[in-house]
Amino acid sequence: MKQIVTLLCLGFFVSVPMWLTDPYLLNALITTGIFIIGAMSLNLLLGFTGQLSLGHIAFFGIGAYVSALTSLGFDVPIYGDFHIVHVPWPPIAGFFLAILISGFCGYLVGRLSFSVRGAYFVIVTISFAEVVRLVALNWVELTQGPLALTNIPSITIGLPGLGYLVLKTKFHNYYLVLAVATLSYFLISRLVHSHYGRAMRGLMENETLAVAVGIDVTRTLTLAAVISAAIAGAAGSLYAHYIRIIDPDVFAFISTVTMVIMVVSGGKGSLAGPVVGGIIFGLLPVFLRPIMPPEAQWITYGVVLIVILFVMPRGIVPSLAAKLGLARAGGTRRASSAVSERTAEEHA
Amino acid sequence: MAETVLSIEHVAVHFGGLVAISDMNFHVDKGEIVSLIGPNGAGKTTAFNVMTGFLTPTKGAVKYCGADLKGKKPHEIADLGLIRTFQRTSVFPNDTVYDNVLIGLHRQGKVGLVEAILGLPRARASEKAQRERAAELVRWIGLDARANDLAGSLSYGEQRLVGVALALAAQPKMLLLDEPVSGMNASETHTFVQLIRNIRDRGVTILLVEHDMPMVMSVSDRIVVLNYGRIIAEGPPETIRNDPAVIEAYLGQGAKQIVKQEAVHA
């Protein structure tokens, strides 16, 4: 049942560019999609380990800069006549490097801050994002600072026997984002349904007990942080190669807040939550723009958020699932069938 | 002589100036059911915390199967098969009973991350085996009717059972039970005593802390009595029942006189 819904949604998303030709709307969908990938990665931390990262945009931004710089190349003076020179690589290499380096940053932040938890973790992540933003702003030789990195090439995919495909159009980028989002969705789904995911849930609910049954806190949380950061880095890389210009504003705190809103409104700890929340709050400004003045748009945005959280405090997806009686369908149904199978064997 | 599983050697725990345990010495042999009793504040839970790595002793050593547990983290000690339950927070409240046990099976299902994410055959097989094992444990503990209910919605007595099932899922060689029957009624307690014996018959050594004296007397092979952070008596239930130091610790000085007089009159 759940799988059918997932596949139907995927089929719908695949069909969108075939009937939606308005480039403005397609553009909105692509940027929303990129942010949904970010929100999904944030959900892995917030929804499945209970750790709130308010500096999540740092991993996104690092991914964007790493990817952009890898494909643009740079010549940075380090000391005296010593320069580090990098010759441009193909953008796809930048994409994978972005994942690796963001993941590594996730590892560092995780290792450093998971000995302190809760409010301290929130503060460490905010500080981390701010430090990275200041570096991007001030290390002009590398990042061009406020002048921005421009002319970032589009991602190119080599097709064996068919030459190269440059993903330059919105049509192409839409499918690229959809592919990465789908992959991330299934990766996170597999992860949280494995014993790694159960370890995360155990830690979130009752850490002392989790530790007493042999769950390694630091390892589990660091793993979540690394994967979460790596996915955010992938989203950042997609952003850089789609928008093709980035400046230190990609590290804006408001972007993290947007992701948190997407996760919390959609339902943290639910796989589909960030997707639903992301679509609503990613596209809401687009639909409000033609019908009301700017001040009213943001007021409406806030009102919608409050109403959603007031009516469905656990988020849209979990609340709707509970109403439809699908609550925890996956685990529960398997549990009962497993138990009844055992009982049946016993009686046989 | 029986094989010693756990030995506590000259353990002392100080919290600043407060002496929670002054000098504790005892051991538990393989296959035994040993109870650690004593009045409130005697240091029983502190002793558990030391044994399972949640607290570092100020002095002394805890040895498990001959190995010193010094410097080991709680999850590493659990990995050795020394598993504990907790007095109050004994379950994962927002998960079903079945999922609780699945989380407890963590130690069993260690497949590689890549295998788990790609859903390779070994990961699938391990996942299936874990699900079967969880269902089996839920049934064994007698909670199959509650398998799909959230653990937090169960009665205290049932939550205790979930806590034990969770601990068993971690495949203990030795199980430390912290006040397992508090919050249970008489018939639940009776069933629980049977359960403890069954667990022991599966080859698990048991150390328990408990206030329910009839239960302790009926289930234990040996009892260790703690008061003010030191051991005041040790022996089989009959000896402990009549030990003057124990009666004094529980009932006070005057009671000892009364008990004595009654013994004389009897």
Q: So what's the ipTM on this one?
A: 0.86
Q: How many residues does chain B have?
A: 266
Please name the residue of chain B whose CA is at the shortest distance from the CA of residue A227.
Answer: B113
Q: Considering the domain boundaries, does residue A315 fall inside one?
A: no
d(CA A22, CA A24): 5
A247 occurs within a structural domain: yes
Q: Does B113 touch chain A (CB under 8 A)?
A: yes
pLDDT in tens, chain A (348 residues): 778 888 999 999 999 988 988 999 999 999 999 999 999 999 999 999 999 999 999 999 999 999 999 999 888 888 878 888 888 888 899 999 999 999 999 999 988 777 777 788 899 999 999 999 999 999 988 888 888 898 888 888 877 777 778 888 888 999 999 999 999 999 999 999 999 999 999 999 999 999 999 999 889 999 999 999 999 999 999 999 999 999 999 999 999 999 999 999 999 999 999 999 999 999 999 999 989 898 899 899 999 999 999 999 999 999 998 888 755 444 444 444 444 444 444 444
Phi, psi of B252 (to 5 degrees): 95, 170
Work out how many domains chain A is built from and give that number.
1
Residue A263 domain flag: no
Asked if the C-beta of B82 comes within 8 angstroms of chain A's C-beta atoms, the answer is no
Structure tokens at A190: 């597999």
Helix (H) or strand (E) holding B18: strand B18-29
| A contact residues 153-192, partner B, Cβ 8 Å cutoff | 187, 190-191
What is the pTM (predicted TM-score) of this model?
0.86
Q: Is residue A138 part of a domain?
A: yes
Residue with tokens 């007021």: A299
Quote the minimal CA–CA distance from A310 to chain B in Å. Answer: 21
Contact call for B105 and A195, based on CB within 8 A: yes
Determine, for residues A339 and B147 on separate chains, whether the beta-carbon distance falls below 8 Å.
yes
- Report in angstroms the alpha-carbon separations of B181 from A80, B156, B187, B210, B238: 74, 9, 11, 8, 22
A141 in contact with chain B, both atoms CB, cutoff 8 A: no
Q: Do A212 and B74 touch (CB under 8 A)?
A: yes
Within-domain flag for A306: no
Bridge-based pairing state of the strands B82-84 and B205-209: unpaired
Report the side by side order of strands in the sheet with B82-84. Answer: B67-68, B59-64, B4-15, B18-29, B230-235, B222-227, B33-37, B205-209, B174-178, B82-84
Q: Where in the sequence is the domain holding A107, given as residue range(s)?
A: 20-251
CA distance A196 to A210: 12
Q: Which residues of B touch A223 (CB under 8 A)?
A: 113
Write the secondary structure of A215-280 as one string of H (helix), E (strand) and C (coil): CCHHHHHHHHHHHHHHHHHHHHHHHHHHHCCECHHHHCHHHHHHHHHHHHHHCCCCCCHHHHHHHH
Say whether A342 and B139 touch across the interface (CB within 8 A): yes
Whether B116 and chain A come into contact, CB under 8 Å, resolves to: yes
Q: Where in chain B is the domain with CATH 3.40.50.300?
A: 4-91+169-265
Please indicate, yes or no, if residue A15 is contained in any of the structural domains: no
> Which stretch of DSSP H or E encloses residue B12?
strand B4-15
Closest-CA distance of chain B to residue A283, Å: 31
CATH number of the B4-91+169-265 domain: 3.40.50.300
Facing residue for B92 by CB, picked from A195, A206, A341: A206
